Amino acid sequence: MVIMKIFVINTGSSSIKYELFDMDHHKIAAEGMAEKIGEDSGILTHKKILANGESKKKVEEGVIADHYDGLNRIVELLIDPEHGVIQDKAEISAVGHRVVHGGEEFQSTTIIDENVIAAIKENIPLAPLHNPSNLMGIEVAGSIFPDSPQVAVFDTAFHQTIPMKAFLYAIPFEMYEKDRVRRYGFHGTSHAYVSEKAAEYLGRPLGELNLITIHLGNGASIAAIRNGKCVDTTMGMTPLAGLVMGTRSGDVDPALHFFLADHLGMSLKEINTLLNNESGLKGMCGTNDMREIIKKKDAGDAQAKIALEVYTYRIKKYIGAYFAALESLDGLVFTAGIGENAPYIRELCCRGLHKMGIEIDPEKNNRTGNGIRKINSPVSEVKVLVIPTNEELKIAQETKRVIESEIKARS
């Protein structure tokens, strides 16, 4: 079996994001998203990627009854004579699924069978907002592509090399043993992808590198990577911990919850909404759009200024903490929307770290570009890189790898 076309899907409660990869030519053939599934009016946006890199876009509006209907309509567009890129859905070699939480059961990408589905269900209490949707995507894709292997790529898998001293919380040990309360970490697919790209760029084996990878999007996290393996990460049992994010608070005093309940009369649901949806940058200055916040800061907005200082100070503290955990550092990597496109943020995060061997070149940092860029100064002992992440491509690569390994093992 030649693995040429991998269909990658990320299923949400009311959406399906997808990309079809032509692995033979290492490129995206089509991408898009079905949104507002099950609502009064849905939107399906589909892009066919042309040979010159440009795209041909088609937008359909109307009711998308459920995820089965949504995925069927996506398949219709993929095989449409004008907007499609394949002639038959049988051309799809495999379907790769992003699954948010694999718990401790999965340390790597896995071909989906009944045991895997059961394990994902077991982990629903750890990711109640995501794993049910991911399972729905697996079920729907399995019915529409019955002859194509389904593969799960777990957001948590990359972090399963974290040692117990880093993932345990200082609470009664039986809560870890019985209820699996521990640090898991997220954004693992992104951290894995950019660490591999950093090794390629630096011309060194990943297994010989110590890296700190900084994923800054609306969600944000940092990973400490020793000899190619993750040894710590900022997100915890849930994606709320760690850095200040677009709408999430990141680290707070755990007793804050009791204060909010006892003194402000907030319910657990209200506290959860506050910390996940109304805090972070949005809570501090009214918006979670980094471009807008920087503009407001430049215009003299005091709240925007302090929000950026809090945001970057938290990142800077974790860089220091992970430098200490790793004991030596070869590379510092910025990635995701803010990490890739906000030189001011990168500059604030690295300011004053020259004693740690981290020093960026202002001109290189402010220079725009699409690929991997090195922004450290010539005297910097640590390489500072900007690497565009591509979680969907990583999912496709992982899907191809595990299926080919399975075929080889059977032959």
Is the distance from CB of 6 to CB of 21 less than 8 angstroms? yes
DSSP state of 360: B
Residue 180 has which token pair? 């699996």
Measured in degrees and rounded to the nearest 5, phi and psi for residue 19 equal -145, 135
Residue 363 has which token pair? 């001109």
Query: Can you say whether residue 248 is alpha, beta or left, with left for phi > 0 and alpha for psi between -120 and 50 degrees?
Result: beta
Is the distance from CB of 44 to CB of 74 less than 8 angstroms? yes
H/E element, 54: none
Taken in order 271, 273, 279, 283, the sign of the CA dihedral is: negative
List 85's β-bridge partners, or say none. Answer: none
Task: Give the Å distances, CA to CA, from 71 to 32, 39, 94, 140, 396.
Answer: 11, 15, 15, 8, 18
Measured in degrees and rounded to the nearest 5, phi and psi for residue 154 equal -95, 135
Distance CA 83, CA 198 (A): 36
Which letter, b or e, does each residue of 334-358 get, where b requires 16 or more Cβ atoms within 10 Å of its Cβ?
bbbbbbbbbbebbebbbeebeebbb
Written as one letter, the residue type at 283 is G
List 333's β-bridge partners, or say none. Answer: 213, 385
Distance CA 216, CA 339 (A): 5
H/E element, 85: none
Residues 6+ apart with CB under 8 A from 333: 194, 195, 198, 211, 212, 213, 214, 384, 385, 386, 387
Q: Would you please indicate which residues are annotated as catalytic (active-site) residues?
A: 155
**Quick one: which of 172, 311, 198, 299 has its CA closest to 251?**
311
